[in-house]
Amino acid sequence: MAGSQSLLLVRAYRGGTLGAAGHNHLIATRAITGTVHVPERPEEASFELSVPVDSFTVDEEALREAEHSADFPPQVPQSAREGTRRNMLGPALLDAAGFPAITLRGAGFESGPGGILRARIEVEVRGAAHPILVPLRYERSGATLTVSGDTTVRQSELGLKPFSVMLGALQVQDALQVSFRVVAYAGAVPASP
């Protein structure tokens, strides 16, 4: 795997009657490690990836600028970024101290049109596994495999309760928009330039 070339990006949207007082957030990590096995038939591929929970960043300015969206203006106060990260990693949500990694395991694939596969993925969060179905695209170039996709994942599907304060007046919506690009290499990971 090449963590620095891989990217997992989660768009979390504000909600509740006081949602306008909060911010939509971009949660990101490039620290994706693991193994991918790709036989001749992509439908028979398998993988196990690990994402250290404490590697997640909140609202990197460059990522927000790249969104080119009014939903994600580039500037977010440092206090909002820090508070969001603290709440996300705390015991009520991801519990980074007790469960330091999220594990993703390929549980099978289905072929789709236009080079798109649908992957059955077992996501282990907080020590419990949850199945999800994710459409993805893949491209092989020499010894490099790039897998990418976009999907919606509900926090409740992963056994998580979305962050909420003031009796739900300010909250994070259950649905998260997830984008990913995972770059894997045959054999050893090449050295960084």
Closest CA to 130 of 109, 110, 153, 152: 153
Q: Is residue 1 part of a domain?
A: no
What is residue 4's three-state secondary structure?
A: coil
pLDDT in tens, 48-66: 999 999 999 999 999 999 9
Q: Is residue 100 part of a domain?
A: yes
Q: Is residue 192 part of a domain?
A: no
Q: Is residue 193 part of a domain?
A: no
* pLDDT number for residue 191: 45
Q: Is residue 78 part of a domain?
A: yes
What is residue 109's three-state secondary structure?
A: strand
The model's pTM is: 0.86
* pLDDT number for residue 115: 65
Q: Is residue 156 part of a domain?
A: yes
Return mean pLDDT, the chain. Answer: 85
Q: Name the domain count of the chain.
A: 1
* pLDDT number for residue 165: 66
* pLDDT number for residue 178: 96
Q: What is the CATH number of the domain that holds 120?
A: 2.40.128.110
Regions of the chain short of the pLDDT cut 70:
1-4, 16-21, 42, 115, 164-170, 188-193
Structural domain for 161, as ranges: 7-184
3-state SS, one letter per residue, for 17-64: CCHHHCCCEEEEECCCEEEEECCCCHHHCEEEEEEEHHHCEECCHHHH
Q: Is residue 191 part of a domain?
A: no
* pLDDT number for residue 177: 96
